[in-house]
A and B are shown apart, each in its own frame.
Chain A
């Protein structure tokens, strides 16, 4: 018996020890005693549940979703032109200054679940001393010395169908049909596809049509993943919103979408303008005093950016054919540009040429309010061809890819090879621009 009880006690001790070790091993080591590097320090953390809410509470209602940018522009132009048929009291300068301060206000409007629309207003207070008819300021002759100028002045209404049939029913039209009303770029050439804040050299519409912006209403959006469109009724009055007997213009452009641009660096399209427009001051003389110009233009455009390790190269082309008061015209612009990878230094070479048929001045197309001038006589001497080479070099202090913040200086030279309205010679322009 004593042997068996001793054996039982011994067995209990062994069993107890065994259980103790089993229980001890089944628990993880005590953290205080264990080296901390051996433990995953994040096991006790759980993702916190949150609802995403931007906190705009510090902004007053009028500042929410609003961007306000300031603009400073200084330009000095010097010319050495041997023959200047357009010379008047205002345009007789050999040196001119154009300086301005301005702003751009962009506001988006929201509902609980969507951005309904946006508005953009860009205006400047401009001081001109002297005037030289450079391509970027063809409308400035009548605005000496002080003027308040507006540039962009338009509103977009996104997916207006959603107001008629409800957001869910109209969701397939998101991005497809947006309404635009106001003053913006013409749907011809690359103007609409270009944010000209960042463009140093002008595109061709100023020369081709007489203005690059007009008052209009119409639709824009995506046709497919790869194509977009713009279709507008344009007043055809350029800077001023006014009807003076013109019927206005229908403008259409079909082009590549931004996804093509982002992926391949390519922008291309075909645009057309048909209807009647008012002649800008420098055009009235050319068109035998006509105030109204019956207009037709159609043509392709292309811009191709090739990024390399040494910078990006850009090829720009605009071509349009058509007529003004039954006089045929062809406008072409070809530009080759370079920009360093740091986007600090850029250079461009541009060739532009416009041919306007000199034939018999039309009497059927427009209303004649101005007497013929010497300019018309002189026009025939140069055979109706305006041809220029422009080259420039630009230094960028800030060159935002989205053109939201820009700061640059530019020196450009336009060599007018021939021009019925501007003679021939050189125009040198020094510009300073800041947009922030």
Chain B
């Protein structure tokens, strides 16, 4: 009697298991879920970027938690110039924003994003000035690339210092209409000298990651302060003779 009961319980579980597996095979998308990007040792990493900090604070923000989250999330796609990654950027992705303080003064913001590279996921963090919204420093947590050392070296990373999201939005216009403009700062960024052709994929991924990181900060934190540059660039590009920006910027 006990055995037959036990046997029937097992049968129920076995059938459930098979059911779950079949449903997964038929609909693999059900398995996908949002993935955030956090520092594994924030105290150490933030101290490295801000030696004079006295404290730091972590805030987890999602688009879904915003008042008009769905609308904002749709805007993300147009501003990064490509479809959002279904694994790393979803409306419920928990973005961790680190605020760094010296006393009561906020002296920096650090935020990371995941981007798929050739050798695996790249975790790219930006340290941003809270008043100018310009990049203070770019650094990597996880970077599985044959050219990892070249990307981590200062000569490559220093090229991004001082750039802001407005520069990326203006780049959309300058690239098509006025490539030699002296304000076309993004055109002045170059891959590391000895980078192999196969590692260019990681270079482009990093460029996309920097832009995505800045756009997310602008939408979640800075009340779209750089949006006027995006709207102006699109307006001029969409005039009759204009051309829409290419992907990959």
Contacts and interface: CB of A to CB of B under 8 A. Distances in A.
B120 A307 contact: yes
A108 B60 CA distance: 9
B31 A398 contact: yes
Interface string B86-119: 0100000010010101011010010000100011
Contact of A259 (B35, B41, B103, B132): B41
B9 A167 contact: no
Interface in B130-183: 130-133, 140-146, 152, 164, 166, 170, 173, 177-178, 181, 183
A47 interface: yes
B41 to A, nearest CB: 4
Contacts of B121: 343, 401
Given A171-B55, A436-B33, A258 B146 contact: no
Contacts of B42: 175
Contact of A162 (B38, B55, B223): B55
Contacts of A111: 57
B238 interface: no
Contacts of A74: 13, 16-17, 20
Interface in A106-127: 108, 110-115, 127
Interface residues of A, number: 74
B33 A407 contact: yes
Interface residues of B, number: 90
Interface string A49-77: 11111111111000001110000001010
In terms of DSSP, what is the predominant structure of the interface of chain A? loop
Interface string A397-408: 110111011010
Given A40-B178, A99-B13, A341 B40 contact: no
A432 B41 contact: no
Contacts of B17: 74, 76, 432
Interface stretch (B73-81, B186-194, B224-232): B224-232
B41 A222 contact: yes
Contact of B57 (A51, A97, A113): A113
Nearest to A170: B54
B56 A115 contact: yes
B43 A56 contact: no
A405 B90 CA distance: 13
Given A50-B222, A53-B221, 4 more contacts: A47-B226, A54-B220, A262-B141, A401-B142
Interface of A: 36-37, 40-42, 45, 47-59, 65-67, 74, 76, 95, 97, 99, 108, 110-115, 127, 129-130, 158-159, 162, 167-168, 171, 174-176, 221-222, 225, 228, 257-259, 261-263, 307-309, 312, 341, 343, 397-398, 400-402, 404-405, 407, 409, 432, 434, 436
